């Protein structure tokens, strides 16, 4: 009975701590005031992408915690016509971005969100994700991309992104003609400080905390790692942080996974359960 009471107390403490970390906003904008004039061009017909990168530890997200993104905000200066839409895409990236983006891992996207004609009335648009995007524990850097989407192709929509007067990091821009992302400073728009934020939670409910518990040990490891969990896991996959698959297989809870064929480095272990959920952990091979 004493051990049961101790377990309940620990469970409450852990759950309370996790709930205290909800509603985390990732933003590089200083303030929420949008400038009255647009600071960068748009392309008739779309094809634009605007983005920010975020180092999760800079926002107090611990390496051993998942971060669940539930909404995203973008500042819009003006919209030219109908069939103008946006969606958020969330990627795991590394220090070599933007060159490494083609091999980055796309974690998930929001639904497509329609915009309507507006002229010179900067405003912040919020998309609450129909399906939250989980950034797995061990992720260091994410790319939050806002993509212009055209659904019908029979109009020439243009979106002009809004900016704030100040920020504290790079705004990334991919135009309709550029092969990849560029710093807005390098395309001669140094005042284009995009307002792009996401909001998410580091939480676990009392009902599923025990069920979702998983232990991956030892980590770092030389030869084998072990898995301990209450979930019924059916398969796993080990990839680079950019998504290159190195090994995969099926296993029972508690089984060891042989790392002998992997080179020394950092990898992402994704485990797939019978209930359709995925649990990811960063592992280190010594």
Residue-wise pLDDT for 64-95, tens only, equals: 888 999 999 999 999 987 768 999 999 999 99
**CA atoms within a 13 Å half-sphere pointing along the CA-CB vector of 234:** 7
CB 221 within 8 A of CB 283: yes
pLDDT for residue 163 is more than 80: yes
pLDDT for residue 154 is more than 80: no
Q: What confidence score (pLDDT) does residue 252 get? A: 64
Angle at 90 between CA 86 and CA 93, to 5 degrees: 135
Question: For residues 101 and 241, which has the higher predicted lDDT (pLDDT)?
Answer: 101
pLDDT grade for 186, boundaries at 50, 70 and 90:
very high
Q: Which domains does the chain have, with CATH numbers?
A: 2-201 (2.60.120), 213-285 (2.60.40.3080)
For the entire predicted model, the pTM comes to 0.66
Dihedral class, residue 147 (left if φ above 0, else alpha if ψ from -120 to 50, else beta): beta
């Amino acid at each position: 009975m004493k051990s049961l009471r101790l377990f309940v107390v620990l469970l409450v403490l852990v759950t309370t701590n996790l709930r205290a970390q909800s509603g985390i906003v990732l933003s590089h904008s200083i303030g929420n005031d949008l400038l009255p004039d647009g600071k960068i061009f748009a392309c008739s017909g779309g094809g634009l992408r605007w983005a920010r990168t975020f180092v999760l530890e800079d926002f107090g997200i611990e390496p051993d915690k998942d971060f669940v993104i539930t909404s995203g905000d973008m500042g819009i200066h003006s919209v030219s016509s109908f069939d103008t839409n946006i969606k958020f895409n969330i990627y795991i990236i590394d220090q070599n971005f933007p060159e490494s983006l083609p091999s980055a891992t796309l974690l998930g996207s929001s639904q497509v969100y329609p915009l309507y004609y507006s002229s010179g009335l900067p405003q912040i648009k919020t998309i609450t994700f129909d399906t939250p995007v989980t950034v797995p524990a061990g992720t260091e850097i994410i790319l939050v991309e806002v993509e212009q989407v055209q659904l019908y192709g029979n109009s020439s929509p243009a979106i002009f992104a809004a900016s704030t007067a100040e920020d504290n990091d790079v705004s990334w821009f991919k135009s309709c003609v550029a092969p990849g992302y560029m710093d807005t400073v390098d395309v001669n728009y140094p005042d284009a400080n995009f307002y792009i934020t996401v909001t998410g939670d580091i939480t676990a409910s009392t009902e599923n905390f025990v069920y979702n518990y998983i232990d991956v040990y030892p980590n770092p490891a030389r030869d084998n790692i072990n898995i301990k969990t209450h979930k019924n896991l059916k398969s796993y996959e080990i990839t680079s942080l950019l998504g290159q698959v190195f090994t995969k297989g099926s296993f029972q809870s508690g089984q060891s996974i042989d790392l002998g064929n992997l080179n020394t480095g950092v990898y992402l272990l994704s485990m797939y359960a019978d209930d359709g959920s995925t649990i990811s952990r960063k592992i280190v091979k010594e």
